[in-house]
Structure 1
């Protein structure tokens, strides 16, 4: 039997001139693409750290897909107002809630205010984080260690525990971890440790909520160009940020947000306990 033998897959045809006439082609080329569908119509999404960076990109993309948005943030009021403007351009509502996620009372309040405002909660995105580079483990003070863990992982517990009072079957929880959870980071040991904890939190919570049909997944971004970068590193490091990954550049927040949309929508109904890796090509086997 002859291998790789060509077989007709459309009627024989030819045209006598370039560049050709599309209307004469059989079958007609497909040009309309898939129907543009709003994947989150009527839903409400809460995003911690949604004022800028990845959080802003998620908020705007989710708004384009029909979700109302609640954003909690610390003190970056101008960034938050800009995000609200961009979200509301999409014809949905946006609630801004400023406060300190390290405080359990604020986490509870922000979830309760979201539900009071919109009447429901469908998607919880635990995204807020801080990082404080140190060249030596000995330089990580007790205060820094406490702040990093309280912000990056304790707040996820506080928000999720409160959100579970309102999430129902079909709801989703998406946590932001990091490539550092998989490959480590010599100068971000406490930060990477919290991100590793988030991976374990995601996998454990997904198992705990599977019977309730609430899916829990995470996204592990690599180097992404967000305000956290110039706020963390010196000028030279910032100028080179992201150049060491296979794609040789830092990613943009808009390149990460679709991972969250996928996990929040019905496109991923058979996925829970999983981590997506928009990281510029690093192989992390996670």
Structure 2
């Protein structure tokens, strides 16, 4: 498989604060990459780099053999559903069609019949077509997450980025979303930020552990577990200790 995301010796600063330091990472076509790390560790900054919303002042980054900004039309992005305004008076169909805008904002812009047909096909694939006329505030957390994924998929992206897509979901809804992503991964590359340490290794092909620096990048193994002191002392990395204990210590039980 060819590499479609290449990050070489990248460092990112917000004024004098270092968000990422000397990151080297390659993501292959149709890889399912999970990014793990503590809050404030640079995970979201890494997504911004790939999307071209943040420039790397140090190092180089290429996406689909191009500059991130120029490759953005081939990248689907799914934000945290908790940051989506559920009170906004818009229905499911309109949210999905928003993915067709692709940065083209105009008061006279109209969606074509082809746009709607393609949106309907994506909604059917994700099992939300029956909800197309429902106001988004009436959706469950899992349903809303599928709507946001559909919005990202309607442009037929080559890469799908997701920022904690299961953060506010119950256990069954989480599994439903991960099973959906595994199915989608047959055709597109998936990169997601997650706190679901206990289950992500059953779905991802590779895992990145990041806390300003990239401490681990390797194959995901079923039941992979990380030392609770890992991010404080990378030399203490161990594959097989108590994951639940690690989660409770680092993330406060998230």
Normalising by the smaller structure, the TM-score range is 0.3 to 0.5
Higher normalized strand content (fraction of residues): 2
TM-score with structure 2 length normalisation?
A: 0.37
Using the size of structure 1 for normalisation, the TM-score is: 0.34
Relative contact order: is structure 1 or structure 2 higher (C-alpha 8 Å, sep ≥ 6)?
2
